[in-house]
Structure 1
Amino acid sequence: MKTVLLCAALCAPGCVMAQDLRISDACIRAPMPGAPVVSGYLTITNPGPVADRLTGGRADFAEVVQVHGMTMEGEVMRMRQRVDGLPVPAGATVTLQPGGDHLMFSGLNFAPKSGDTVHVTLTFDHAGPVTLPMPVCAGGPAGRVQ
């Protein structure tokens, strides 16, 4: 009960706290018709003294939830799974955004629609599983539904 009250007192709407992590600005981009994948974005703040690592997750609407990153190879941008996960250093904020690190949902069981909210459980090395609501937005983070 104290944890829930602390979260309610410290977090703005749309924020989830888990141990020393704060997750905010979560959004899933609505998929194009027939698309086999959808991407997700959020901000993770780690004000604590211990580094953590986002390693993946799970969601009812997708068979697979992975952390992906974008890298430049010459003049071509490539997307790759971050097989070792995404570091979340102590005292730092990490933003998953278009053109950079992001969540990739594949093997869609159904296509979430703009305006929906889906629940996603993220997995961290230290914080463990963290379940949060993620609104589905037509344009990604810039088009977030508030």
Structure 2
Amino acid sequence: MTRTPLFAFALLTLAACSPGGAGSGEPATVQAADAICRPTPVGRQMTGCYLTLTTATADRLVSASSPDANLVQIHESRIESGMMMMRELREGLPLPAGEAVALAPGGNHLMLLGVKEPLVAGDTVALTLTFETSPPLDLTATIGQPAVTESGEADATAAD
């Protein structure tokens, strides 16, 4: 008779300690779509990657990595004094709840630095995205050119 209460206590303890346990809530999950990285230019070891991130609860993309590059940085591009400037977002990229956040040419993007082998159209590259509260997300990006929209700007949501 003493086994039943002990067994029930053990199950309750395990449930309380698990990530989905009572009161803890499920961890936030970020969805990624349409990941594409440009081919590396001849003689260069860097390139940009674009994708769209969506999460149900507010989060922040804090870092990224790839086995195919020495370093991956989260960058923003913007016009300053009539020139396109690019800088690292050291604090990461905010992801508002329920909003699709596009990382696209001319805006926020991932920059692969120290690419180990040339990235050629049609190949793929592995990426791991790390978030403030959501679990890390492993994904595969296609190597290619982002599609161009009617406005003439590159669109990262569709591949060639």
Post-superposition offset of 1:141: 4.4
Counterparts of 2:86 and 2:95 in 1: how far apart (Å)? 20
Matching residue within 54, 65, 88 for 1:58? 65
Output the CA distance in 2 between the equivalents of 1:61 and 1:141: 23
Deviating above 4 A after TM superposition, structure 1's stretches of 4 or more consecutive aligned residues are: none
Q: Distance in 2 between matches of 1:44 and 1:116?
A: 22
Opposite residue 84 of structure 1, the aligned amino acid is: E
- 2:159 is matched with 144
Query: 1:40 maps to which residue?
Result: 49
| Partner residue, 1:114 | 121
Deviation at 1:19, TM superposition (A): 4.2
Q: Distance in 2 between matches of 1:90 and 1:35?
A: 37
Matches within 5 A, 1:86-101: 86-101=93-108
Aligned CA distance change for structure 1 residues 104 and 58 (closer, same or farther; 3 Å): same
Identity of aligned residues (%): 36
Q: Give distance in 2, aligned partners of 1:72 and 1:120.
A: 28
SS at match of 1:31: coil
Measured on the aligned residues, the alpha-carbon RMSD in Å equals 1.6
Q: How far does the alpha carbon of each residue in 1:107-146 deviate from its partner, in whole angstroms, 9 at most, with x for none?
A: 1111121100121111111113110010000x2344725x
Q: Which residue of 2 aligns with 1:6?
A: none
What residue ranges of structure 1 are gaps of 5+ in the alignment?
1-17
Structure 2 counterpart SS, 1:92: coil
* 8 Å CA contact retained: 1:61, 1:112: no
Counterpart check, 1:26 vs 2:41: no
Q: Is contact 1:59–1:121 with CA below 8 Å preserved after alignment?
A: yes
CA distance in 2, matches of 1:66, 1:135: 18
